[in-house]
Amino acid sequence: MSRTTNSSLTNALRILKSFSIDHPELTLSEIAEVVGVSKSTACRLIQTLESEGFIYQNMNFNTYRLGSSVLALSNTVVDQLAILKETTHFLKQLTAQTGESSHIAILDNNEVIYLKKEDSPYRVQLLSHIGRRNPAHCTASGQAILAFKKPTTIEKLFERDLGKVTQYSITSLPKLQQLLATVRTRGYSISKGEYIEGIVSVGAPIYNKKNQVFAAVSVAGPKKRMLPDLQKIVDNVVFTSNNITKYVQAHVKDVDIETFI
């Protein structure tokens, strides 16, 4: 494969990843800016993606959104991740016990992706959703997974930057390594306002049959509700992570788990 072809493929994939629930429709200029290419290059790539059904143009507003081909692929992925269907009752129970939103997330480079969510019954809820990406170093889910990666892996993941999201975010690699060592020892993570000020989250790792951490379960909510019952919430999150791990190790084939890694 030539360098030009490889570059075009990379940019096309970046275009697809630029869409999200927060930004479901984008203009040509916005796409070009996000991907870092000229408008003419972006237009050419969009035309190719559009011909294959991956992008659809809204002629009324001259914007673009993801097409039906993406939906077909996403349904295929969901079917492969059999564990997601089986973890619903675990999350429902965790949210019922804590009163807060619960999640299952995996690591993708230096970010976490939320694969499953059970909403809190409170009217005001978190700005989280399935498919959302958050920086791993300042979220409880991310820290719960990162804690079981090799220190050299952590260095590679964050060699460029430890982004400061709030005043409580960890911005030093040595401090992050120190925190992860603590998380690894106690078996859970607590993030207090590191990603969103005023929000506290608790996360615990989920293991596969090879005893490798491949995901995390977490609970997050306003600190005024989380802090008074923090230890109880920690116990519930750890209990849930242990139960999911037991289910995975007893019932889920390795091939299903490999999809997460």
Average pLDDT over the chain reads 85
How much is the pLDDT for 56?
Answer: 86
Q: What is the SS3 assignment for 35?
A: helix
Rounded Cα gap, residues 180 and 154, in angstroms: 10
How much is the pLDDT for 67?
Answer: 82
Residue 98's H or E segment, with its range, is helix 88-98
Per-residue pLDDT of 99-130, as tens digits, reads: 999 999 989 888 898 888 898 887 555 656 66
Whether 12 and 19 have beta carbons less than 8 Å apart is answered as no
E-assigned strand segments in 184-238: 189-192, 199-207, 213-222
Residues forming beta bridges with residue 64, ordered by sequence position: 26, 57
Q: How confident is the model at residue 216 (pLDDT cuts 50, 70, 90)?
A: very high
Per-residue pLDDT of 155-197, as tens digits, reads: 999 987 788 889 999 999 999 999 999 999 999 999 999 999 9
How much is the pLDDT for 2?
Answer: 47
State mean pLDDT over 5-30. 84
What is the set of domains in the chain, with CATH numbers? 3-71 (1.10.10.10), 81-258 (3.30.450.40)
